[in-house]
Homo-oligomer: A and B are copies of this chain.
Amino acid sequence: MPPNTAAKEVSLKVIKTACSNCNLRELCLPMGLSEEEMHRLDDLVSTRKRIKRGDFLYRAGQEFDSIYAIRSGFFKTDVLLEDGRDQVTGFQMAGELLGLDGISAEHHTCNAIALEDSEVCAIPFSRLESLSREIVTLQHHFHKVMSREIVRDHGVMMLLGTMRAEERLAAFLLNLSQRFTARGFSPAEFYLRMTREEIGSYLGLKLETVSRAFSRFQEEGLIAVQQKHIRILNTPGLKRLMTHHAP
């Protein structure tokens, strides 16, 4: 399928593919662009890709040429050490970008794996750089997105370096809740797309510890858990847990 159709009559499919018609445009890369600017971005992101649950969007070591905007679905990224250890470095949802780590060395440094059937927009990076030389707001927004990733990583470092198990899990749940909210979903009720082991890997804990912390939260009436279904019953309680650490 050719990515650019020169036809005047634009098919429904193509319309739906464009940033200008995407309901995530205010969360994603086109944030803050004018109508006209967004149409110029549309040309870049015309290639869409479906990724089945469990499949790789890209693998560590693979050549880097595009970043990806998640249109729907849910991903995790993980890094592998030579000795077999690995760690989940993030969970990404609709409107978020994947692949920014690949810019530095021109190859990907982590694996990106779909946790449910997903769709992404591939954005050829060199074309994004060209366009952002022309559109100031795009350039600036892209820099903000990269910077936000750095800030997010500092948050995770904080979490891993200073928080205890239950604080980590509370922070994790509140973060998910906040991101779901930003996407128009319930802040209090959601399905986890990842296993306890993946949560543990992300939080620097073993799956048993994650499970126990969930049970503890449930006993204390903070949340209701049933496998992957989570209901947050007491948000302030979780927040308190996050900040009032034992001396």
Please determine whether A101 and B151 come into contact, CB atoms closer than 8 angstroms. Answer: yes
Minimum C-beta distance from A201 to chain B (A): 7
7 tightest A-B contacts by CB?
Answer: A103-B147, A153-B153, A161-B204, A104-B147, A160-B160, A104-B148, A83-B243
Please determine whether B81 and A158 come into contact, CB atoms closer than 8 angstroms. Answer: yes
Known: A133-B139, A140-B129, A162-B81. A87 touches B147 (CB 8 A): no
Q: Which of A71-111 contact B (CB under 8 A)?
A: 79, 81-83, 85-87, 89, 100-105, 109-110
Please determine whether B157 and A156 come into contact, CB atoms closer than 8 angstroms. Answer: yes
Docked CA distance A147–B162 (Å): 25
Minimum C-beta distance from A158 to chain B (A): 5
Subset of 11 A-B contacts with CB under 8 Å: A79-B158, A85-B162, A86-B162, A87-B162, A89-B157, A100-B150, A102-B147, A103-B143, A133-B133, A156-B157, A157-B157
Docked CA distance A96–B151 (Å): 17
Which residue among A101, A129, A150, A151 has the maximum number of chain B CB atoms within 10 Å of its CB? A150
Please determine whether B158 and A87 come into contact, CB atoms closer than 8 angstroms. Answer: yes
A89 (CB) vs chain B CBs: closest residue: B154
A14 interface residue per 8 A CB criterion: no
Docked CA distance A23–B205 (Å): 44
List, in ascending order, chain B residues with CB within 8 A of A85's CB: 158, 162, 245
Encode contact with B along A155-196: 1 for CB under 8 Å, 0 otherwise: 011101110000000000000000000000000000000000
List, in ascending order, chain B residues with CB within 8 A of A143's CB: 103, 129, 146
A26 interface residue per 8 A CB criterion: no
List, in ascending order, chain B residues with CB within 8 A of A148's CB: 104-105
A144 interface residue per 8 A CB criterion: yes
Minimum C-beta distance from A109 to chain B (A): 5
